[in-house]
Amino acid sequence: MATTNETQFSEFECDLLSMKIGETAYDVKCIGNIEQESEVRKVTKKCCGVVAKSRTYGTGNGTLKLTAHMPYKCYVELHAMDGADLKDGIYGYGRGSLHPVVPITGHITNEDGDEKYKAWPCCTVSTGPADKIENGAEEVAEVELEIAFTPDVNGYGVYEALADDLDEATKAAWMKEFTPALMQVATV
Give the pLDDT confidence of 80-129 residue by residue, as tens digits: 998 889 999 999 999 999 999 999 999 999 999 999 999 999 999 999 99
- Could you please report the per-residue DSSP string of 132-162? ---TT-SSPPPEEEEEEEE--TTS-S-EEEE
**Residue 8 has what pLDDT?**
84
Other beta carbons less than 10 A from residue 121's beta carbon: 25
Residue 152 amino acid letter: D
Q: Which whole number is the average pLDDT over 11-26?
A: 95
Helix runs in 1-153, H state only = 72-78
Do 175 and 105 touch, CB atoms closer than 8 A? yes
- Decide if pLDDT at 188 tops 70: no
Q: How confident is the model at residue 7 (pLDDT cuts 50, 70, 90)?
A: confident
Q: How confident is the model at residue 187 (pLDDT cuts 50, 70, 90)?
A: low
CATH tag for 13-179 (out of 1.10.287, 3.30.40, 2.30.110, 3.10.450): 2.30.110
- Report the mean per-residue pLDDT for the chain: 93
pTM of whole model > 0.85? yes
- Domain map of the chain by residue range? 13-179
Other beta carbons less than 10 A from residue 152's beta carbon: 21
**Residue 160 has what pLDDT?**
96
